[in-house]
Amino acid sequence: MGRPSAKERRPYNSDAILDVAVRVFLERGYDGASLDDVARAAGITKASVYYHVSSKEELLERGVGRAFDALYAVLQEPRVRTGPPIERLKHIVKRTIDITVTMLPEVALLLRVRGNTRAEKRILERRREFDHLIARFVARAQRAGELRRDLDARLATRLVFGMLNSIAEWYRPEGRLDAKGIAEAVFRIAFEGVEAGRLRASCKSTERLITIDRRRGDK
């Protein structure tokens, strides 16, 4: 398994091989795929794959690393670093949808990791770390009175991001929905149901109906 010739290496650089590997892992499952499968799908030799990466685990970590890099970068964007907590949280949700739509294979692969190997366990740990960071934004919005406080911040985060994660399974680029349309739907379903102001309005509306009903009863 010596150094491949220039002719063998020319068609694929490391990024191109990574593109193929992500696709193969999604099609066959990470556990069921091998470097032979990746090389075959790329139309190159296994030695050529080894020239760019040391193992299947490296391909997995680099593949999901693309998604991680994009998601963590969102937390450094200006609209996340300043402003009302609820608006910062909404921006994170919107950008997460943008990333899911534009990096669909990488995000889908990230969400299918199950923790069967050391590399997968490291990936799951980074996922948990990201979830905890988002939960802090939820907690800040609760303390600011922008989100209802009778919900556990981590549970609310898991429920909202569970909805976002499902996008990777059903979204198709050729469909009629785009990231903006999906974000608007998420805001209506998730945030309009948990914003503190809407909870107060709902309670007042309920109290008003009870008062009217009691007056009718008195008559």
pLDDT in tens, 20-79: 999 999 999 999 999 999 999 999 999 999 999 999 999 999 999 999 999 999 999 999
pLDDT (tens digit per residue) in 99-137: 999 999 999 999 999 988 999 999 999 999 999 999 999
Q: What band does 191 get if pLDDT is binned at 50, 70 and 90?
A: confident
For residue 214, pLDDT beyond 80? no
Residue 40: CA count within 13 A, CB half-sphere: 6
For residue 194, pLDDT beyond 50? yes
Cα–Cα distance between 59 and 49 in angstroms, integer?
10
pLDDT of the residue at 107: 97
pLDDT of the residue at 217: 52
Q: What band does 2 get if pLDDT is binned at 50, 70 and 90?
A: very low
For residue 8, pLDDT beyond 60? no
pLDDT of the residue at 198: 53
pLDDT of the residue at 147: 92
pLDDT (tens digit per residue) in 171-184: 998 888 899 999 99
The residue among 58 and 219 whose pLDDT is bigger is: 58
Smallest CA-to-CA distance from 108 within 22, 19, 176 is with 22
pLDDT of the residue at 11: 55
Average pLDDT over residues 79-88: 96
Cα–Cα distance between 148 and 143 in angstroms, integer?
9
Strand-pair partners of 147: 195
Cα–Cα distance between 84 and 141 in angstroms, integer?
8
Q: What band does 218 get if pLDDT is binned at 50, 70 and 90?
A: low
Smallest CA-to-CA distance from 160 within 89, 108, 81 is with 89
Residue 147 backbone phi and psi in degrees, to 5? -125, 150
pLDDT of the residue at 208: 54
Q: State the amino acid at position 68 in one-letter form.
A: F
Domains of the chain, earliest start first: 6-54 (1.10.10.60), 63-218 (1.10.357.10)
Cα–Cα distance between 143 and 163 in angstroms, integer?
24
DSSP secondary structure code for residue 76 in this structure: T
CB neighbourhood size of 168 (10 A) = 20
CA 90 to chain centre: 14
- Exposure string of 111-143, with b = 16+ CB inside 10 Å and e = fewer, is bebeeeeebbebbeebbeebeeebbebbbbbbe
For residue 210, pLDDT beyond 90? no
